[in-house]
A and B are shown apart, each in its own frame.
Chain A
């Protein structure tokens, strides 16, 4: 089954005629993702990616013409919140927003609208999600993956690729790998993804990759402690040596007032049954120690 993206995905790309949009649309098509349409206002009737994808003016038209149920957004920050709302309005169920640099306050009403519509938003400022062998949505390099039964969820981009590559090198494949994004306000949390993995019959183990700042990892640990007891779990937390009060790149990654420390996250995860790695390369070993036999 996998989560968020899979064999049933019918994807549109909003902002498909932009540089990033077109580049990654090509990679998604090459992976075999059912990318059925693109949307760029004013370019309806044209095609994109070597005439392989029809372009529509609006998401509603694209949905009507193709039956799309998922969207991947590459629209620049100034227009991205509106692009999310357009997707929600057109009835898209699963929306991935890759765009970075969206002001946090712009996202608050948007996340609320997504929730009220019963849709799901992943991101913004996220790398997307890949269910190896089925579909890839976003910008995660295809080469890091191999098909398997471990679910991966992460706040980072390249760190995720690093961890997944280490798993692939060790012969441990993934059911779905989800990047939830590094912004303060995101549509989907660690906890949401853990819940999806917990209910997925193709996911037998879980890897969580977090970083300092906020309390999302602690909240995820509390959920896992209650609902994911029997599942092998491994984790990694970036920023163990980061100094307090300095924001480490991601808008979310800051330790302030002693909160959001790596120590607090590691403690919460270990208490919830996660084996916590000191380096991403240790994740495969820890998964096996935790009882994963895949």
Chain B
């Protein structure tokens, strides 16, 4: 699960990391009021940032500076009217703009190959790390946390020196070890600070100081661990989750909406992806990725059917079940039931093989379903059915 920048910063702050101040506004007037407080507190400019769970906010115009409360209101209003990569902006984060001297990148993440937590830093902050990895890999330094002992202080020091943060050694060590603690304590897959910045500030007596601050933060959480972190589950943003995604999640179905016309119902993630690939190969476009999971019974099949048909673009449905734990005859019965309840008649191609396939086949034939034997055959039939159905519509 992804969480917003504002929530990510709250988690970092709670772990004692220095994060840039800021408050969330749902409308432009509130954004102005927040900005006013920061201007009154001495800020020269504020930054207004779209809170959406998509990357590339800056390029999309979702991060802008404002020089006055009035300006902040206008900027917030413009940002709140945006949709970034399909996500409508419903909230903005407003905070004082930092006076940045240097930008770096620092992250802790799961390294699948090494099977350890990896801490990765770069002297090139504020740009996407993938870009740096491709163009200037020597700018990236990394170190693995010990599987039992975590990240040692000396490792954090070494990383800090390699990032030329010798002048900010204690802060850098605290932030680096803090990121690993945030990963551990929250069961995160990724905790990314980009940029981590050296910012110039003025003390009360006017002296200039420099310190390290997390200006942006991104955290993704391990879905498997959410049950033991109810406080994190509460961060799930109902605005960011479409009703269809919510129904899928609550039904234990993995559903991802795509832009095609052929709805898919498959058991198993690998097979579901393969089914999409073969539809495309046969000249069609999948309308979704849908994995009904193992041991699916009639009620789950019905829920999957509702999810697929909720998409008005769907012109045909391909059901592809390889029975292992899942029993083919139960899926077949579920399809008959679901068809009885559905409001829209869409042609369906059904392929059920494996456990209890013979019983399933009888049920499907009696029910008058179009069936297929091989995967390729099923994909071709579904593409043809979608073309017919589209032409008729």
Contacts and interface: CB of A to CB of B under 8 A. Distances in A.
A159 B271 contact: yes
Given A161-B354, A241-B276, A250 B130 contact: no
B189 A215 contact: no
Interface residues of A, number: 63
Contacts of A144: 354
A160 B270 contact: yes
A215 B113 contact: yes
A212 B278 contact: no
Contact of B286 (A108, A182, A241, A247): A241
B9 to A, nearest CB: 22
Interface in B254-285: 254, 256, 258, 266-274, 276-278, 280-281
B231 interface: no
B286 A157 contact: no
A105 B112 contact: no
Contact of A242 (B130, B271, B273, B325): B273
B184 A184 contact: no
B277 A239 contact: yes
A280 B274 contact: yes
B337 interface: no
Given A162-B274, A162-B375, A280-B274, A185 B112 contact: yes
Given A159-B270, A251-B223, A259-B130, A246 B256 contact: yes
Given A108-B147, A143-B354, A156 B271 contact: yes
Contacts of B57: none
Given A141-B323, A165-B353, A279-B376, A103 B274 contact: no
B128 A257 contact: yes
Nearest to A278: B281
Contacts of A103: 187, 222, 224-225, 228
Contact of B189 (A127, A161, A184, A259): A184
Contacts of A272: none
Contact of A216 (B110, B113, B183, B277): B113
B322 A162 contact: yes
A259 B286 CA distance: 23
Nearest to A108: B147
Contacts of B269: 156, 182, 211, 248-250, 253
Contacts of A157: 268, 270-271, 294, 324
Contacts of A160: 270
A202 to B, nearest CB: 25
Contacts of B117: 105, 108
Most chain A C-beta atoms within 10 Å of own C-beta, residue among B55, B115, B129, B276? B115
Task: Tell me what chain A mostly uses at the interface: helix, strand, loop, or mixed.
Answer: loop
Given A105-B222, A141-B355, A249-B289, A158 B273 contact: no
A112 B112 contact: no
Interface in B136-157: 147-148
A214 B112 contact: yes
B268 to A, nearest CB: 3
A18 B10 CA distance: 41
Most chain B C-beta atoms within 10 Å of own C-beta, residue among A105, A144, A155, A212? A105
A77 interface: yes
A102 interface: yes
Contact of A248 (B130, B228, B272, B325): B272
Given A77-B224, A109-B148, A278-B281, A159 B274 contact: yes
Nearest to B185: A105
A139 B270 contact: no
A101 B224 contact: yes
Interface string A136-173: 00011101100000000011111111100100000000
Contact of A209 (B187, B228, B270): B270
A42 interface: no
A161 to B, nearest CB: 5
Contact of B147 (A109, A241, A257): A109
Nearest to B354: A141
Most chain A C-beta atoms within 10 Å of own C-beta, residue among B277, B281, B286? B277
Nearest to A183: B224
A241 B271 contact: no
A243 interface: yes
Given A108-B116, A251-B224, A161 B280 contact: no
A241 B280 contact: yes
A65 interface: no
A231 to B, nearest CB: 24
A103 B115 CA distance: 13
Nearest to A111: B115
Contacts of B115: 107-108, 111-112, 185
Contact of B270 (A112, A158, A257): A158
Contacts of A45: none
Contacts of A22: none
A105 to B, nearest CB: 6
A155 to B, nearest CB: 7
Interface in B299-336: 322-325
A281 interface: yes
A229 interface: no
A52 interface: no
25 contacts: A77-B224, A103-B222, A105-B110, A105-B183, A109-B148, A112-B147, A141-B324, A154-B270, A156-B271, A157-B271, A158-B267, A159-B268, A159-B270, A162-B322, A165-B354, A182-B269, A184-B189, A211-B269, A238-B273, A238-B277, A240-B277, A241-B276, A246-B289, A281-B375, A281-B376
Given A141-B324, A157-B294, A251-B224, 8 more contacts: A105-B183, A105-B225, A108-B115, A108-B116, A184-B112, A211-B269, A241-B273, A241-B286
What are the 5 closest A-B residue pairs judged by CB atoms, nearest first? A156-B270, A249-B269, A158-B268, A159-B270, A257-B130
Interface of A: 20, 77, 101-109, 111-112, 127, 139-141, 143-144, 154-162, 165, 182, 184-185, 189, 209, 211-212, 214-216, 219, 236, 238-243, 245-253, 257-259, 278-281
